[in-house]
């Protein structure tokens, strides 16, 4: 492949060298530079790729892509200047992998909550209709049933197009992906013209020095999706919907429970049967049908409405939509874990005030005897998040068991002392057990009939990150071991 083929979709300036140079690979990680590769110098928050151009020289790369002039480049190396190397990488990656997004129906979901669950719902429905589907998101990447771990909710653009190519080659017709605000802000999905873009909801999150400077920046980042999709399915009940749709260029379809919309849910029921929690409802408008979904809470109705509308736009029959919704399973999202017929153990990824309050309100609808929360807090993260978590769990739970999450470089007790500041605001009852398995065991040993034990924060994760080391820890395995130890 020639360098010029990778540059066809971007504006650039040739500082030196031949744009028809032969290219064998496209890389943005200096450790992966090989002979005749092209190295894209990404300017990140902590590391600037321009400082590694000498490695490109040493390893005989054919070209480097830069945002600023670099010194000491040999005459036979092409040096190409662009305005934004991260954006350039996105368009170059699409070209490098042969524009695989054009061979898929690509559905992108953005929003503060609901992205992960809804992507799984969409995948489940499409596959119920015999359409092999790929998925990219927080819990990993799925190509059919093959699971590939993910580092970010929305991977770097090179990985996205590589995954799209794998999906196409494996026979996928559809790709459904979470599109994070960071992924939009930092051009990871630049150049992808989504067939359907989705807005689930908007609330405070991801505001901080390494994320978004303000709520305005957070909202503006999410709105980018709706200038890069053909059709949009958006939540008309969310008060931020007009802000998110500002300057949109797509055809808009709406769903809601309370507001006027193209698709509405009515006659909603909370169901608890055979150990399952779920929802029943009817839809009116774009789809008239009765649905059941075995994930609990009103947010499951919202997620189902999104899924129903997306799949209707893609031509899926109502019966297949219903079948897919009834069989969907989402790891770490209000996930019921088998333990005892007398009480329920639920795993959820909630790790901030908004998501925790949502989960707690959802479970309260099922009238548990008591709510027992087992959780900690992430190290190297905002203290405000810990205060808020403590306050909301203290107000809503009958007992909080403070324990280890991913303390990273901090001490568990320091993190939990911050949580206790929030607990004090709501006079929440708590105990502390540093070892997470021991904390879960205490909750199970002391559970009463009808209790809900809610394990917050880990969700789909299968590790604990402590002092730079990731130790294997899967709460499902922990519950199974405790169950065996206690003879339940």
Per-residue model confidence (pLDDT) at position 212:
47
329 phi-psi bin (left φ>0, alpha ψ -120 to 50, beta other): beta
208: pLDDT strictly greater than 50: no
Q: Is 184 exposed, middle or buried (0-12, 13-18, 19+ CB in 10 A)?
A: buried
Domain boundary among 54, 80, 96: 96
Per-residue model confidence (pLDDT) at position 409:
95
C-alpha closest to that of 422 among 453, 384, 458, 456? 384
**What number of other Cβ atoms are within 10 A of residue 325's Cβ?**
25
Split at pLDDT 50, 70, 90, the class of 207 is: very low
Per-residue model confidence (pLDDT) at position 147:
86
C-alpha closest to that of 109 among 303, 287, 239? 303
Residue 147 pairs with which residues in a beta bridge?
142
CATH number of residue 346's parent domain: 3.90.190.20
Split at pLDDT 50, 70, 90, the class of 206 is: very low
Location of structure tokens 């771990």: 149
Per-residue model confidence (pLDDT) at position 93:
98
477 Cβ contact list (under 8 Å, min separation 6): none
Quick one: average pLDDT of 23-40?
Answer: 96
CATH number of residue 73's parent domain: 3.40.1390.10
Domain boundary among 59, 78, 96: 96
Q: Is 347 exposed, middle or buried (0-12, 13-18, 19+ CB in 10 A)?
A: buried
Domain boundary among 77, 96, 115: 96
Q: Which two tokens stand for residue 147?
A: 């699971």
Are residue 304 and residue 427 in the same domain, yes or no?
Answer: no
Quick one: average pLDDT of 446-457?
Answer: 95
Are residue 281 and residue 144 in the same domain, yes or no?
Answer: yes
27 Cβ contact list (under 8 Å, min separation 6): 33, 34, 37, 38, 39, 40
SS3 content of the chain, % helix, strand, coil (to 5): 35, 25, 40
Are residue 385 and residue 480 in the same domain, yes or no?
Answer: yes
Are residue 67 and residue 21 in the same domain, yes or no?
Answer: yes
> What DSSP assignment string belongs to 337-398?
E---SSSEEEEE---SHHHHHHHHHHHHTT--S-EEEEE---TTS-HHHHHHHHHHHHHH-S
The model's pTM = 0.82
- In this predicted model, which residue has the larger pLDDT, 157 or 217? 157
| Beta strand residue intervals within 78-192, DSSP E | 78-81, 105-110, 133-137, 140-143, 146-148, 174-178
Strands 146-148 and 140-143: antiparallel
Q: What is the pLDDT of residues 299-353, one digit of tens each?
A: 899 999 999 999 999 999 999 999 999 988 888 888 989 899 899 999 999 989 9
Are residue 308 and residue 394 in the same domain, yes or no?
Answer: no
Are residue 249 and residue 370 in the same domain, yes or no?
Answer: no
8 A C-beta contact, residue 239 and residue 204: no
Quick one: average pLDDT of 194-198?
Answer: 98
C-alpha closest to that of 288 among 252, 264, 311, 268? 264
Sign of CA dihedral 17, 19, 20, 26: positive
C-alpha closest to that of 369 among 429, 450, 271, 447? 450
214: pLDDT strictly greater than 80: no
C-alpha closest to that of 137 among 119, 122, 124, 125? 119
Average pLDDT score, the chain: 93
Quick one: average pLDDT of 34-52?
Answer: 90
8 A C-beta contact, residue 36 and residue 23: yes
Are residue 28 and residue 167 in the same domain, yes or no?
Answer: no
Are residue 262 and residue 344 in the same domain, yes or no?
Answer: no
Are residue 202 and residue 297 in the same domain, yes or no?
Answer: yes
Q: What is the pLDDT of residues 341-399, one digit of tens each?
A: 899 999 999 989 988 998 999 999 999 999 999 999 999 998 999 999 999 999 999 99
d(CA 378, CA 410): 9
Per DSSP, 162 falls in state H
| Beta strand residue intervals within 82-191, DSSP E | 105-110, 133-137, 140-143, 146-148, 174-178
d(CA 295, CA 301): 9
402: pLDDT strictly greater than 90: yes
45: pLDDT strictly greater than 80: no
**What percentage of the chain exceeds 70 in pLDDT?**
97
Boundaries of domain holding 85: 3-96
d(CA 293, CA 362): 14
Are residue 63 and residue 8 in the same domain, yes or no?
Answer: yes
**What percentage of the chain exceeds 90 in pLDDT?**
80
8 A C-beta contact, residue 222 and residue 184: yes
Q: How far is CA 233 from the centre of its chain?
A: 18
Say how many residues make up the chain. 488
Quick one: average pLDDT of 148-170?
Answer: 92
Quick one: average pLDDT of 277-295?
Answer: 95
Are residue 167 and residue 214 in the same domain, yes or no?
Answer: yes
CATH number of residue 180's parent domain: 3.40.1190.10
Domain count, the chain: 3
Are residue 354 and residue 398 in the same domain, yes or no?
Answer: yes
Per-residue model confidence (pLDDT) at position 110:
94
Q: What is the pLDDT of residues 239-281, one digit of tens each?
A: 989 999 999 999 999 999 999 999 999 999 998 876 678 899 9
276 Cβ contact list (under 8 Å, min separation 6): 294, 336
210: pLDDT strictly greater than 80: no
């Amino acid at each position: 492949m020639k360098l010029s083929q990778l540059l066809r979709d971007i504006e650039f300036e040739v500082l030196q060298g031949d744009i028809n140079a032969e290219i064998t690979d496209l890389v943005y990680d200096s450790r992966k530079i090989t002979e005749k590769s092209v190295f894209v110098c990404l300017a990140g928050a902590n590391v600037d790729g321009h400082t590694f151009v000498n490695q490109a020289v040493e390893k005989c790369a054919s070209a480097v892509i830069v945002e600023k002039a670099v010194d000491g480049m040999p005459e036979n190396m092409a040096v190409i200047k662009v305005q934004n190397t991260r954006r350039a990488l996105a368009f170059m990656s699409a070209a490098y992998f042969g524009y695989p997004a054009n061979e898929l129906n690509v559905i992108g979901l953005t929003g503060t909550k609901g992205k992960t669950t809804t992507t799984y719902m969409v995948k489940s429905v499409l596959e119920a209709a015999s359409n092999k589907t790929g998925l990219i998101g927080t819990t990993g990447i799925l190509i059919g049933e093959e699971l590939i771990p993910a580092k970010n909710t929305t991977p770097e653009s090179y990985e996205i197009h590589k995954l799209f190519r794998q999906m196409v080659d494996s026979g996928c017709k559809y790709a459904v992906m979470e599109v994070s605000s960071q992924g939009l802000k930092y051009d990871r999905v630049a150049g992808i013209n989504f067939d359907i873009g989705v807005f689930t909801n908007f609330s405070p999150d991801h505001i901080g020095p390494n994320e978004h400077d303000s709520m305005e920046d957070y909202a503006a980042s999410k709105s980018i999706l709706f200038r890069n999709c053909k059709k949009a399915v958006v939540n008309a009940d969310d008060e931020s919907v007009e802000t998110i749709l500002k300057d949109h260029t797509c055809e808009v379809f709406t769903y809601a429970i309370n507001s006027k919309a193209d698709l509405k849910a009515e006659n909603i029921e909370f169901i608890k049967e055979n150990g399952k929690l779920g929802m029943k409802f009817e839809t009116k408008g774009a789809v008239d049908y009765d649905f059941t979904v075995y994930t609990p809470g009103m947010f499951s109705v919202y997620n189902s409405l999104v899924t129903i509308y997306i799949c209707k736009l893609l031509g899926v029959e109502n019966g297949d939509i219903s079948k897919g919704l009834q069989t969907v399973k989402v790891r770490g999202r209000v996930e019921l874990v088998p333990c005892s017929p007398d009480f329920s153990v639920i795993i959820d990824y909630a790790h901030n005030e908004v998501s925790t309050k949502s989960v707690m309100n959802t479970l309260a609808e099922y009238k548990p005897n008591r709510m027992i929360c087992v959780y900690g807090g992430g190290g190297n993260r905002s203290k405000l998040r810990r205060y808020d978590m403590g306050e909301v769990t203290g107000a809503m739970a009958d007992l909080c068991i403070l324990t280890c999450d991913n303390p990273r470089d901090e001490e568990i007790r320091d993190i939990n002392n911050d949580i206790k500041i929030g607990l004090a605001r709501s006079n929440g009852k708590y105990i502390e057990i540093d070892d997470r398995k021991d904390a879960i065991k205490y909750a199970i040993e002391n559970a009463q009939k009808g209790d809900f034990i809610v394990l917050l924060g880990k969700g789909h994760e299968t590790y604990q990150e402590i002092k730079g080391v990731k130790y294997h820890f899967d709460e499902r395995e922990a519950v199974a071991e405790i169950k065996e130890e206690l003879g339940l």
